């Protein structure tokens, strides 16, 4: 599959990251150092000149709790005092981070200093839940048409549905679809391939996010085409 509209700068970014990976794949640098180096490569590609520029943008996304004039004490002391005054619960996490109760969960506290000792205390941007990250990592958006462009075996590959019993629909004929056929079964071609597994008749491509009836209709179209070809041979 050809990816279009890719700027040279984007490819250059990937090239730099790949070069960095190759130079250090056999070494054992700390993960924090490696991630910071990757961040530095990306920030340079995006036009930032230092780390503070993009971390400041992240800080502006955080929900402000309060502002104070920092003349004495630590930020943690000011946060704890504010929590006591407003009836908020607070704690230190097992990593030693000060957290404040918000919306039924514990949120990390951060701060930024402005002019004349003015300090803004805010809730750090909420990270994506771990289970959602795992789901994104484990379920790449691979579509049936992507596999067709990569190439499917000519035999023993079948389409099945995640929830509906539509039998085993042969996939090999998909490569022979005309432009009209591709248009007619566009929704089927855009179906997400949620799994590739071994089945009783061969390899199964498990499709999700598509009406099961489309698979039934496609299976019927294959059968109709085969009958038509057989009939034509009788008169040739």
- For the stretch 158-171, pLDDT in tens is 899 988 888 888 88
Give the tens place of pLDDT for each residue, 73-113: 888 898 898 899 999 899 988 767 888 988 888 888 888 88
CA distance 138 to 75: 40
pLDDT at 184 over 80: yes
pTM of the model: 0.41
Q: Is residue 156 in a domain?
A: yes
Q: Are residues 72 and 94 in the same domain?
A: yes
Structural domain that includes position 27: 8-53
CA distance 78 to 177: 68
Q: What is the DSSP-derived secondary structure letter of residue 91?
A: E
Q: What mean pLDDT, rounded, does the chain reach?
A: 76
Q: Is residue 97 in a domain?
A: yes
Q: Is residue 30 in a domain?
A: yes
Number of domains observed in the structure of the chain: 3
DSSP3 helix / strand / coil % (the chain, rounded to 5) = 45, 20, 30
Q: Is residue 234 in a domain?
A: no
Q: What is the per-residue pLDDT for 11?
A: 61
């Amino acid at each position: 599959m050809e990816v279009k509209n890719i700027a040279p700068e984007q490819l250059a970014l990937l090239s730099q990251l790949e070069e960095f990976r190759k130079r250090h794949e056999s070494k054992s640098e700390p993960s924090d150092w490696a991630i910071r180096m990757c961040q530095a490569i990306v920030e340079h590609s995006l036009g930032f000149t230092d780390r503070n520029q993009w971390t400041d943008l992240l800080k502006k996304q955080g929900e402000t709790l309060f502002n104070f004039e920092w003349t004495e004490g630590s930020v943690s002391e000011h946060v704890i005092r504010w929590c006591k005054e407003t009836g908020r619960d607070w704690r230190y996490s097992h990593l030693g981070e000060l957290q404040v109760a918000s919306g039924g969960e514990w949120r990390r506290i951060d701060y930024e200093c402005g002019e004349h000792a003015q300090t803004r205390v805010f809730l750090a941007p909420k990270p994506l839940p771990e289970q959602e990250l795992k789901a994104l990592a484990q379920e790449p958006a691979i579509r049936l048409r992507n596999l067709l462009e990569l190439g499917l075996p000519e035999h023993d590959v079948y389409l099945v549905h995640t929830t509906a019993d539509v039998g085993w629909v042969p996939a090999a004929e998909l490569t022979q679809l005309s432009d009209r056929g591709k248009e007619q079964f566009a929704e089927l071609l855009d179906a997400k391939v949620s799994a590739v597994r071994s089945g009783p008749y061969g390899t199964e491509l498990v499709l999700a996010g598509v009406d099961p009836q489309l698979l039934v209709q496609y299976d019927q179209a294959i059968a109709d085409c085969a009958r038509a070809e057989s009939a034509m041979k009788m008169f040739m």
